[in-house]
C-alpha cells in the first residue's frame, strides 16, 4: 500500500470574523500516515498518539502490548525510525499573516519536521512545546506535505551516550538485567520508565503525543498564565472556613509574538469568575518572539472562598480568563484557567532552637495550618501515554481522595502529567509534589542537553504554575543519594559528578523554576536533607538523615508486620512492599502455563531483582506459603497471600509514621509530617508496589489505606507485655467524650473474652499515647488465652473500637493487632459465605449500589471479596468477628444482583491451608505442607 493513499488534506483558511487572530488546524481534523523508512509498511496514523498504538490498530501488532512476552517481542518497533505524514491546504489569507508557525505541544522524542521537503525544525525533548516558523515554506496550495520523521529512541540514546563517553561516561550504562529493559535512558529527554523500571516494561514509544496546530497571527497569542494570590493580612493558624480574606492577586501572561522584537500595543481583558472584569491598556515589549504582560489587583474581603486540601475543607475554583486584543481591534487571543486561593509553606525551622543538632522540621503548612501529608506516589498509568484517558485518570485520583489522601508525589521517572490530571487534583484537593523528570541516574551537562532542559523546565513550569494543587517542585528522584552512595561507581570521579549535579539541578533547574515561580518551595532532590543538603554543598554526607528532609525507606528482609527497623523520619516520601495483582487482572495477559509462582512468565514479569524470593520470605514470616503444586488454587492463594502481606506491612509502617507526628526522641528524631507510600497505580499487570492494579481494581492495600489514612485512627503496637494505644487525629478541633475499647478475642470463640475501656477526649491535630494496656493484668491474657502447648499470643488477638458517647457512632475505624503470627496460631478453619446480594439502589457514591450479606462459622482473617464487575467494596480484606456482616458494593457499570452473585468469590486465610486444621487441647495447627521460615530452601521458589 502506498503512503499517498493515506495522506489527508487539511484546509487552513482565515476566518471571516476579524476578531479571531489564529487560523488554526488541529490534529483532530487531520488524516495522518505512519510509515517505516522505506515505506514497505504504511498504516494510518493517529495524532495525538504513538507508533505502538497505531501498529496495534492496523493489526501489525496482533495482540495487546502487555500480553505475555510482547515487551520483548515488540522491541523491534522502538529500534526502527518512523515517519508521520499528512498534507495541508493553506489559504492566501493564512500565508499573508505576519507570522505562521507549526506548534507542537509534544513530540516524542527525537524528530525532524519537514514541510514540503524542507527542514523547519527538530526536537530532542518529549517535554518541550515547539514552535517552528513555516511561513517561507508554506504554499498557497492543497499539497503542502508535512512530515515528522522520528529517529529510534533506542538508537538516539545510544548515540548520545557514545558521544558523551568520548569525554567521560555518565552512568549508568544500562539498567539492571532484571528490568529486561533498554540502555541509556538518561541520555534522552523522554519518559525514563519507557526504557523499563523495576515495576514496568520497556516500550520506548515515538509519536506526536500531544496536540498540534498550524497558526498564523499578526500580534500576540496568549500561551501561558501565571497566577498568584497573597493574603492582604496574616491568616489564623486554625482553619476558619468562614474566613474570606482580602487577596493581592498577580497575573502574568506569556505570549508568542508575531515578530522577533519591538513593542506591540493593545489591551488585555481580565475576568475572574463573576468577581473581576477589567480591561487594561497594554504595551508589550517583545524579545525573541515572546512578550510578558503583568497585572496586579486586589480582591476585597468576602469575595472568594479559600481552597483547602482534601479533608480540611472545600475546593472552590474560579475561572480566570485572559484575552488579548490588538491595537486596531482586528484580532484577539485568549486562554482560560481555573485558579484557587490558598497559601503554601514548607517549614524547615529548627526542631529545637537551643540545640541545632536535633535537626529541622520538614512540614507542610497550607493556609497557615500545619498538616500531615497522607498519600502515595504516582507513576505513569500506562507506558504509552496516549492509552490513558481522562476518565481513568479521574478514577485513580478519586480512588486516592476516597481513601483520605491529601498529597501525591508525581515521580521523576515518568512524565509531567496531562492537564486533566492537575485539573482533577485541583478539584479533589490533592496536593501535588511535582518532581522534574530525572530519576536514578547521573545526567549529562553538555550544552545541547542543558539547552533541552532549559526549554523543558520553562515549558512545564509555565504550563503548570497556575494549578492550586501543586505543593512544591523537586529537582529529581534519588539522584543525590545515588551520587553520594556510589550507586553507579561515581566515587572514582566524585568531584566531576558533583559539579555536574550542581550545574543541572541547582544552576539550571532550580534557578529557572524559582525565577518563573517564586510562590512555591523547591527541593533539589528526593530524598534529601532539604536546607541541610544545601548547606553541605547540595550533596549531603547522608542524604537520608532522619533529622532532616524526606526519606525513602525499603526493607524486604526484616519482619514488616512489626516494623521495628523503620526510621523515625521527618517525612516519609517513599516506602513500600510488593505484591502481585489479582488473578482476574493477571489472567488478561497470561495463559495457563504461566499460572505458577515459579513459571518463566512470573519471573519475566518480576522486574525487581530478587523480588520473588523476597516476597516469598515476607509471606513465609507470618503465613503458610503453600508450595507450588501446579494447581490453579495454589497459584491464586499465592497471589492472595502476597496482597495480605503487602496490606499488613504498609498498615504497620504508615501507622508508625502517623504515631510519630507529635513525638520527638531525645536525639531529635520524630515530628513526622508526611507518609506517601510507594505507589498508588500500576503501569501493567505485574509485580509491583501499587495499591491499585492496572485497570483499576483495588488491592487489599488500598482498602486498608482507607482506614490507616482516616482522619482519626486508633493505632496499636506491642512492647513486651504492654499494649501501647495511640489515637492519631488530623481533625482541627478537639473531639469530646469518646469511649475507647480494647477487646480481647480468641480465634476459636465468637465473643470477646475480655475488654479494657476508657473514656477520653481526643486532642486536635495530634498523636497521643492514650493508654498502656497490661496484657497480662488488664486483659488477663495469661489465663484467658491458654490452649495446650500454644503460646498465648497464638490463641488471642485484640480489636480496638472508638465510639462517640453522643450517638454511639464510630469515631474512628475499628483496628486490630494480631499478637502472634497467623501461621503459628490456633485458628479453626472458617467458612465464609455470600448469603445474599440485594440491589441495586442509589447512594451518593453510585446509582448501582448493592448490599452483600456475608456469614461465617468462625472468626475469619483477611476476608477477601472479588467480582468480575468493575466497582469498589465498602470494605475488604477485613477481620470478621461477627457471624454476619453487610458489605456494600459500588458498581461502576450497570449490572444486576444475579450477575454479581454468579461471579463473586470470597476467601479468608484458612482457605489457603492445604491440609485439615486440627483444633483441640495440645494440638498445633497441622498443615499438609508446612515449613519453618528459617529453612530458606522451603521459602524460596528456586
Among residues 164, 158, 189, the alpha carbon closest in space to that of 455 is found at: 189
- CA–CA separation, 517 and 559 (whole Å): 44
Write the CB contacts of 300 (distance below 8 Å, at least 6 apart in sequence): 246
Question: Which among 356, 310, 353, 364 is positioned nearest to 570, based on CA atoms?
Answer: 364
225: β partners: 253
Q: Which of 413, 434, 690, 480 is nearest to 576 (CA)?
A: 690
**Residue 13: its H or E element:** none
Q: What is the 3-state secondary structure (H, E, C) of 754-787?
A: EEEEEEEEECCCEEEEEEEEECCCCCCHHHHCCE
Residues in Cβ contact with 823 at an 8 Å cutoff, skipping those fewer than 6 apart: 620, 622, 623, 624, 925, 930
Q: Which residues lie below 8 Å from residue 391, measured CB to CB, with a gap of 6+? A: none
Distance CA 228, CA 624 (A): 56
Q: Rounded to the nearest 5 degrees, what angle is found at the Cα of 570, between the Cα atoms of 569 and 572?
A: 65
Q: Look at residues 422, 405, 331 and name the one whose alpha carbon lies nearest to residue 371.
A: 405
Q: What are the residues facing 267 on neighbouring strands?
A: 281, 325
Sheet holding 344-347, edge to edge: 344-347, 363-366, 369-371
Q: Which helix (H) or strand (E) holds 857?
A: none
Q: H/E/C letters for each residue in 22-67?
A: CCCEEHHHCCEEEECCCCCCEEEECCCCCHHHHHHHCCCCCCCCCC
- Strands 212-217 and 220-231 turn out to be unpaired
With a CB cutoff of 8 Å and minimum separation 6, the contacts of 159 are none
- Spatial distance between the Cα atoms of 84 and 378, rounded to a whole number of angstroms: 31
Cα–chain-centroid distance for residue 528? 19
List, in sequence order, every residue forming a beta bridge with 872; answer none if it has no partner.
890
DSSP type of residue 526: B
Pairing mode of beta strands 212-217, 118-124: unpaired
Distance, CA of 329 to CA of 920 (rounded, Å): 92
Q: Which residues are part of the catalytic machinery?
A: 478, 574
Amino acid at each position: 500500500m502506498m503512503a499517498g493513499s493515506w495522506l489527508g488534506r487539511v484546509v487552513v483558511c482565515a476566518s471571516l470574523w476579524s476578531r479571531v487572530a489564529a487560523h488554526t488546524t488541529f490534529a483532530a481534523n487531520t488524516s495522518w500516515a505512519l510509515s517505516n523508512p522505506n515505506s514497505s509498511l504504511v498504516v494510518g496514523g493517529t495524532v495525538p498518539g504513538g507508533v505502538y498504538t497505531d501498529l496495534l490498530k492496523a493489526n501489525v501488532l496482533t495482540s495487546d502490548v502487555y500480553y505475555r512476552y510482547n515487551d520483548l517481542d515488540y522491541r523491534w518497533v522502538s529500534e526502527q525510525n518512523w515517519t508521520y505524514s499528512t498534507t495541508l491546504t493553506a489559504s492566501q489569507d493564512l500565508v499573508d499573516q505576519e507570522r505562521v508557525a507549526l506548534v507542537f505541544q509534544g513530540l516524542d522524542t527525537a524528530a525532524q519536521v519537514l514541510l514540503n521537503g524542507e527542514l523547519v525544525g527538530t526536537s530532542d525533548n518529549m517535554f518541550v512545546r515547539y514552535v517552528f516558523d513555516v511561513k517561507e515554506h508554506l504554499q498557497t496550495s492543497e499539497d503542502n506535505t508535512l512530515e515528522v520523521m522520528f529517529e529510534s529512541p533506542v538508537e538516539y540514546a545510544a548515540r548520545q551516550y557514545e558521544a558523551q563517553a568520548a569525554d567521560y561516561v555518565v552512568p549508568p550504562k544500562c539498567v539492571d538485567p532484571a528490568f529486561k529493559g533498554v540502555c541509556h535512558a538518561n541520555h534522552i529527554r523522554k519518559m525514563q520508565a519507557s526504557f523499563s523500571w523495576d515495576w514496568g516494561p520497556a516500550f520506548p514509544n515515538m509519536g506526536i503525543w500531544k496536540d498540534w496546530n498550524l497558526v498564523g497571527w499578526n500580534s500576540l497569542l496568549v500561551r501561558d498564565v501565571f497566577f498568584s494570590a497573597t493574603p492582604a493580612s496574616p491568616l489564623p493558624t486554625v482553619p476558619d472556613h468562614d474566613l474570606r480574606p482580602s487577596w493581592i492577586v498577580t497575573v502574568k501572561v506569556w505570549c508568542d509574538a508575531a515578530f522577533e522584537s519591538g513593542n506591540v500595543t493593545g489591551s488585555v481583558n481580565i475576568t475572574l469568575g463573576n468577581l473581576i472584569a477589567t480591561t487594561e491598556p497594554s504595551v508589550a515589549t517583545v524579545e525573541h518572539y515572546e512578550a510578558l504582560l503583568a497585572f496586579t489587583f486586589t480582591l476585597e474581603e468576602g469575595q472568594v472562598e479559600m481552597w483547602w486540601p482534601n479533608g480540611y475543607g472545600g475546593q472552590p475554583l474560579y475561572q480566570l480568563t485572559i484575552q488579548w486584543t490588538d491595537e486596531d481591534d482586528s484580532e484577539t487571543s485568549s486562554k482560560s484557567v481555573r485558579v484557587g486561593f490558598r497559601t503554601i509553606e514548607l517549614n524547615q525551622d529548627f526542631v529545637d532552637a537551643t540545640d541545632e543538632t536535633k535537626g529541622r522540621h520538614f512540614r507542610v503548612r497550607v493556609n497557615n495550618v500545619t498538616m500531615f501529608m497522607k498519600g502515595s506516589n504516582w507513576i505513569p498509568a500506562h507506558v504509552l501515554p496516549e492509552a490513558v484517558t481522562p476518565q481513568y485518570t479521574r478514577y485513580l485520583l478519586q480512588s486516592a481522595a476516597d481513601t483520605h489522601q491529601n498529597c501525591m508525589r508525581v515521580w521523576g521517572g515518568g512524565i509531567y502529567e496531562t492537564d486533566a490530571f492537575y485539573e482533577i487534583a485541583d478539584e479533589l484537593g490533592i496536593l501535588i509534589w511535582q518532581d522534574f523528570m530525572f530519576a536514578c541516574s547521573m545526567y549529562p551537562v553538555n550544552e545541547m542537553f542543558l539547552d533541552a532542559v532549559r526549554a523543558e523546565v520553562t515549558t512545564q513550569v509555565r504550563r503548570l504554575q497556575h494549578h492550586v494543587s501543586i505543593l512544591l517542585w523537586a529537582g529529581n528522584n534519588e539522584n543525590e543519594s545515588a551520587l553520594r552512595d556510589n550507586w553507579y561507581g561515581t566515587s572514582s570521579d566524585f568531584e566531576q559528578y558533583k559539579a555536574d549535579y550542581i550545574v543541572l539541578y541547582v544552576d539550571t533547574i532550580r534557578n529557572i523554576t524559582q525565577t518563573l515561580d517564586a510562590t512555591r518551595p523547591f527541593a533539589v532532590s528526593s530524598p534529601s536533607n532539604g536546607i541541610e543538603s544545601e548547606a553541605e554543598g547540595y550533596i549531603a554526607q547522608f542524604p537520608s538523615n532522619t533529622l532532616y528532609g524526606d526519606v525513602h525507606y525499603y526493607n524486604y528482609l526484616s519482619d514488616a508486620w512489626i516494623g521495628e527497623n523503620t526510621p523515625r523520619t521527618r517525612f516519609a516520601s517513599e516506602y513500600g512492599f510488593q505484591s502481585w495483582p489479582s488473578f482476574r487482572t493477571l489472567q488478561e495477559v497470561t495463559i495457563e502455563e504461566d499460572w505458577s509462582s515459579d513459571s518463566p512468565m512470573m519471573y519475566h514479569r518480576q522486574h525487581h531483582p530478587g523480588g520473588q524470593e523476597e516476597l516469598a520470605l515476607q509471606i513465609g514470616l507470618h503465613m503458610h506459603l503453600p508450595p507450588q503444586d501446579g494447581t490453579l488454587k495454589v497459584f491464586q492463594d499465592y497471589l492472595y497471600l502476597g496482597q495480605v502481606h503487602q496490606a499488613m506491612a504498609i498498615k504497620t509502617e504508615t501507622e508508625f509514621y502517623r504515631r510519630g507526628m507529635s513525638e520527638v526522641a531525645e536525639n531529635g528524631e520524630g515530628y513526622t509530617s508526611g507518609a506517601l507510600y510507594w505507589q498508588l497505580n500500576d503501569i501493567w499487570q505485574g509485580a509491583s508496589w501499587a495499591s491499585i492494579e492496572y485497570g483499576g481494581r483495588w488491592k487489599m492495600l488500598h482498602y486498608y489505606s482507607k482506614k490507616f489514612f482516616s482522619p482519626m485512627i486508633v493505632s496499636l503496637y506491642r512492647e513486651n507485655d504492654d499494649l501501647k494505644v495511640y489515637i492519631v487525629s488530623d481533625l482541627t478541633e478537639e473531639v469530646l467524650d469518646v469511649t475507647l475499647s480494647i477487646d480481647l478475642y480468641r480465634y476459636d470463640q465468637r465473643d470477646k473474652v475480655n475488654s479494657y475501656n476508657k473514656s477520653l477526649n481526643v486532642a486536635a491535630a495530634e498523636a497521643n499515647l492514650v493508654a498502656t494496656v497490661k496484657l497480662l493484668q488488664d486483659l488477663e491474657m495469661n489465663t484467658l488465652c491458654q490452649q495446650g502447648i500454644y503460646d498465648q499470643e497464638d490463641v488471642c488477638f485484640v480489636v480496638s473500637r472508638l465510639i462517640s458517647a453522643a450517638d454511639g457512632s464510630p469515631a474512628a475505624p475499628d483496628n486490630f493487632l494480631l499478637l502472634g503470627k497467623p501461621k503459628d496460631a490456633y485458628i479453626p478453619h472458617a467458612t465464609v459465605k455470600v448469603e445474599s446480594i440485594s440491589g441495586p439502589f442509589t447512594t451518593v457514591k453510585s446509582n448501582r449500589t448493592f448490599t452483600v450479606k456475608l456469614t461465617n462459622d468462625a472468626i475469619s482473617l483477611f476476608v477477601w471479596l472479588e467480582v468480575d464487575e468493575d466497582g469498589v467494596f465498602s470494605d475488604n480484606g477485613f477481620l470478621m468477628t461477627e457471624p454476619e456482616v453487610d458489605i456494600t458494593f459500588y458498581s461502576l457499570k450497570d449490572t444486576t444482583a444475579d450477575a454479581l452473585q454468579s461471579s463473586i468469590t470470597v476467601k479468608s486465610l484458612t482457605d489457603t491451608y492445604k491440609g485439615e486444621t486440627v483444633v483441640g487441647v495440645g494440638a498445633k495447627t497441622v498443615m499438609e505442607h508446612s515449613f519453618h521460615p528459617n529453612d530458606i530452601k522451603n521459602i524460596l521458589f528456586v
